Amino acid sequence: MSLAWVPYADRAEAERRLGGIPAGLELDFYRADGDDFPGTIDEVAFYVLPYMRGPSVLARAAEMPKLQVVQTLPSPWAAGGTWTSSPATRASAPGGSSSAGPWPTSGC
């Protein structure tokens, strides 16, 4: 199971804002507004950055040994995100299907 850090208070907020969470994706939550980051930094594979929080949030990526994907959220005025696969997952899926893998990406 892949672990994603998302910039929301809890699972309910993440589900509401993202339109659901795909099976096979474990979430950890952070607000990036002065609160502590999750204690799972050694496990996170997918890091979703909050909109307009500055370079210190991105700098945490250097501390994530299993990190595979960094995703930025669109502005609050843009269309909501949708879930798709990462390029690496698509390349390894039979027939190059884009439906393999639970990775969020901007709907823009």
Full-model pTM: 0.66
pLDDT, one tens digit per residue, over 9-47 is: 999 999 998 888 888 899 999 987 777 889 999 999 999
Identify the CA nearest to 81 among candidates 28, 4, 24. 4
67-80 confidence digits (pLDDT tens): 999 988 776 655 55
Distance of CA 76 to the CA centre of its chain: 16
The topology (CATH level 3) of 2-76 is: Rossmann fold (3.40.50)
Average pLDDT score over the chain: 76
pLDDT higher for 51 or 10? 10
Give yes or no for residue 86 having a pLDDT over 80.
no
CA distance 34 to 42: 20
